[in-house]
Amino acid sequence: MNIGITCYPTYGGSGVVATELGKSLASRGHRVHFITYALPMRLTGIGHTESEYIDNIFYHEVEMSTYPLFEFPLYSMALTSKMVEVARFEKLDLIHAHYAIPHATSAVLAKQILHGDGRSLTSDIKIVTTLHGTDITLVGLEPSFEPLMKFSIESSDVVTAVSRYLRDETIGNYGVSKEIDVIPNFIDTEVFRPVDAKNLRRLLAPNGEKLLIHISNFREVKRVKDAIRALKIILDAGVKAKFLLVGDGPDRGECQALARDLGIWQQTRFLGKQSELASILSASDVFLIPSGNESFGLSALEAMACGVPVVSSDVGGLPELNVDGETGFVVKVGDVEALAERTLQILREPKLHAKLSRGALRHATTEFTKERIVPMYEAAYERALSRAR
């Protein structure tokens, strides 16, 4: 197939999913065209080494020109125009839009332009839209977007969501009348796997401390401060521990200030954005994800694939991924005491840690591998292509 992919290209789960999907589709023989305003983050390694090079991947930059009369950039228009250009020239079979707003909206408009265009070689292009949760957040912040979200979803040929929670929420609470297939996030088990991290662990925890880890973009919804407060309780309970905080975002400064205020700065390490995640995860004992909302929780899946048990909140799609008592523990969102208590339990009981670690690895590597999930996307594409015009 000849596939156009539009996603948010910078740091964030949806961009990672879209990019890893594109790479995997290309290695399975499809031609993949990324149509984005910047090179997707996990595509940047291409060409550094022979093994990183993937044939069949093409990048089409959405260029933004400025015009003094227009106060705001016309991104959706520029994206639509680029989609039309790429679809015509590359004879795309379909566009896979990650997010209804603005990506599926642009794709729907591009499709209409192409349909009505006698010159077009690709007059029956299909649209597959994947929901990652951001649309719902957006509509929550700006209710006037609701009709646009529904229109963009309902005008797509096939729609997927990354968890049952997100599918049910989209249909139930927003009244979207469209069949939505659940296709969860996935990992490349050659990249995310338990690796020997003894040396790194010695460096990060020279006095034999336990290592907690959190990875996110430090947005408010991630509730990183809950995890820092839980660390304080864990330390007060007499367990020697350090907390690795990976990533960057708007709440990072407040989190650092909180660690200082609580007098636990020395026990935290803010590492910023890191690329060698498998080593850092493999060196760690417990992954904390106390989010206030989370459609899936890709970072938790990456931790599980490295054999790290997860303590998560009970919101969104997290309980579908983190099976309470099997891959880690699930606690009520905002319950810092429970977050600390469950983490302490894992840190204090080596047998429990080993059992949850095995469970996390097993669950991640049986249910959420790219070998299992990517064909689900291919099937979704087939369904879209078989739909009448």
Site for ligand GMT, rule CB under 6 A: 12-15, 17, 132-134, 162, 185, 217, 219, 221, 293-298
Closest residue to ligand GMT, judged by C-beta, is: 13
CA distance 389 to 372: 30
Instruction: Give min distance, CB of 210 to ligand GMT, in A.
Output: 26
Which residue, 281, 280, 335, is CA-closest to 310? 281
Instruction: Give min distance, CB of 310 to ligand GMT, in A.
Output: 13
Which residue, 85, 285, 91, 305, is CA-closest to 193? 305
How many residues does the structure list for the chain?
A: 389
For ligand GMT, the closer of residues 185 and 343 by Cβ is: 185
For ligand GMT, the closer of residues 24 and 185 by Cβ is: 185
Asked whether the beta carbons of 213 and 224 are under 8 A apart, the reply is: no
For ligand GMT, the closer of residues 8 and 243 by Cβ is: 8
Instruction: Give min distance, CB of 183 to ligand GMT, in A.
Output: 10
For ligand GMT, the closer of residues 13 and 40 by Cβ is: 13
Q: Is the dihedral of CA 101, 319, 283, 346 positive or negative?
A: positive
Instruction: Give min distance, CB of 17 to ligand GMT, in A.
Output: 5
Residue type, 228: I
For ligand GMT, the closer of residues 22 and 133 by Cβ is: 133
Q: Residue holding tokens 């026990």? A: 267
Instruction: Give min distance, CB of 330 to ligand GMT, in A.
Output: 15
CB burial of 305-331 (b: ≥16 within 10 Å; e: otherwise) equals bbbbbbbbbebbbbbbbbbeeebbbbb
For ligand GMT, the closer of residues 18 and 228 by Cβ is: 18
For ligand GMT, the closer of residues 120 and 134 by Cβ is: 134
Tokens at residue 325, please?
A: 């008592």
Asked whether the beta carbons of 227 and 243 are under 8 A apart, the reply is: yes
Instruction: Give min distance, CB of 41 to ligand GMT, in A.
Output: 11
For ligand GMT, the closer of residues 160 and 268 by Cβ is: 160
Instruction: Give min distance, CB of 217 to ligand GMT, in A.
Output: 5
Which residue, 383, 374, 377, 371, is CA-closest to 97? 377
- Look at residue 47 and give its three-state secondary structure: coil
Asked whether the beta carbons of 333 and 292 are under 8 A apart, the reply is: yes
Which residue, 24, 25, 18, 62, is CA-closest to 40? 18
Q: Count other Cβ atoms within 10 Å, centred on residue 292.
A: 15
Instruction: Give min distance, CB of 213 to ligand GMT, in A.
Output: 16
Which residue, 216, 276, 275, is CA-closest to 249? 216
